[in-house]
Structure 1
Amino acid sequence: MSLPTADTLAELVRLPAVLSVPGDAWTGAASTGNRRGWAMPAASALIYLGGMALNDWADRELDAEERPERPIPSGRISPTAALAVGAGMVAGGVGVAGAIGGRAGLRIAVPLAASVWTYDVVAKDTPAGPAIMALCRALDVLLGAAGGDVTRALPAAALVGTHTLTVTTVSQHEVHGASVDVPLTALRRTAATALGLLALGLPAHEEEGRGAAGLRRLATAGAAASYLAIVGGGYKAAVAADGDAGAVRQSVGTGVMGVIPLQSGLLASTGSWLRAAITASAVPVGRHLRRKRAVT
């Protein structure tokens, strides 16, 4: 078999979805003031992309029946090569985390990598699947905090984890559709996550003037509203479609990329303006790329 093309590899790892990753580690770093954490998105991206490849390797037999156009069942890449890509990227991500954060980075990156493997190979199609995936994204936030006071990043990690739990629960119904209760519950959880983000922006910061505090709270509120409109809008459409598979699949794609305004709001709540703006700028880019390539 010939070597896979760059386009095949990009499809295998769901390349556009990587835009949803940097905000995790940046949020953890901003929550703790950890300077090393600003470079952790490199490790996060490798682990995330590797996990996507492992996902297709683990699903190769099911995809042959339900999604034969994907890279492995279509014959564009062999299962062995897909496994090598996934395992190599995850291992590389752990190595980068160790290089950036030392032992503190490895203490989080290793459990993160183990959680990725567990989800893809063991837990994905079980009731524990959404919780394991939520743990992956929560640990990704904490990876940015590695080396600092990790407990300060726990509220942000909990919100990202809750968002991920919601999206992953709905994703289990992408192929065959769902009862209307599934997207309705997701809509309610999304509203609760938006309220949690809003609450994180309320406390005053030390040595922060009234004007700066007001601006920070306004920016956090705006991001919460954007998050609710984007992600909640997808679930609302799925509710209106009575859980139709196409509408559910669309809401999952929206949810995957919809973590970006949540991350931007979390960064704004800490006063990390530059990285909040950079993260927010990925929303239109991700929307454009989603039209060309699937993210789920």
Structure 2
Amino acid sequence: MTLDPATALRLTEALAATGVLLGSLEYLARPHALADTSLAGWSVLRLRHPRYATGTLGLALSRTVAYPRVLAVIAVRAAAAACLIPTGLHGAVHAALLTTVVVTTIALVLRGLGGGEGADQVLRITFCVLLLTAVHPTAATMRLALLFLALQACLAYFASGIHKLTSPVWLDGTGLTGVLRTRRYGHWRLGAALTAHPALARWASRGVSVAETLFPLVLIAPPSWLPAVLALGALFHLGCAVVMGLNCFVWAFTALYPAIAYVVLSR
């Protein structure tokens, strides 16, 4: 079985664009959360750094991402992502849509919306790579882009796993139960159940940590292992979406799976 570079990049783009569209719609569904009366309002977030509050950059951001104009930026981002999902585009229109996603994403990061979570970082990297590839779409650049994205996925999993394996709170399971009992990412029923069974929490936490750390071995494992590894990874992110509400993680990380598949199947 083989996977050609163009198909792999197309799958990556469609999955990543779905993640961007979903994340944008989540913001648009709660516009009041971005108003100046909110902690996520520009009047608060612009105080993170003097250059965001004053000067040329501060003025430009205030005219672009202050409420309610930020809703237009998010809507444009959502529309560009939606256009990238159904069909494979090429040429100037394709590059323009990718540029729109990259520019609007950077604007939102500067405003302080997102950018700190793994899914946000992965999507930014993915779309920058897709844009660079679209600017010079040769066979060599497509292969290099897929190799980079596959290595990026492995690095993300490995770094997360190593962090957990060297963290006492993740080794003893209290990190997992602590996250599950938070208001933002928590699931009180599951968190309470794992708190009541510390041994189960401990081994669940260690199991995830080891699996993430060993994930890069997929690049050298037999190709027959690939479907099982990617299926387990997708189920893990789907579980995080259901339990913790991390919806974009499913799309951001599975968007890199076609790149992994291409690298493994083309060995």
TM above 0.5, one fold?
no
Q: Which has the higher contact order (CA 8 A, sep 6+)?
A: 2
Report the TM-score, using the length of structure 1 for normalisation: 0.34
Report the TM-score, using the length of structure 2 for normalisation: 0.36
Larger gyration radius, structure 1 or structure 2: 2
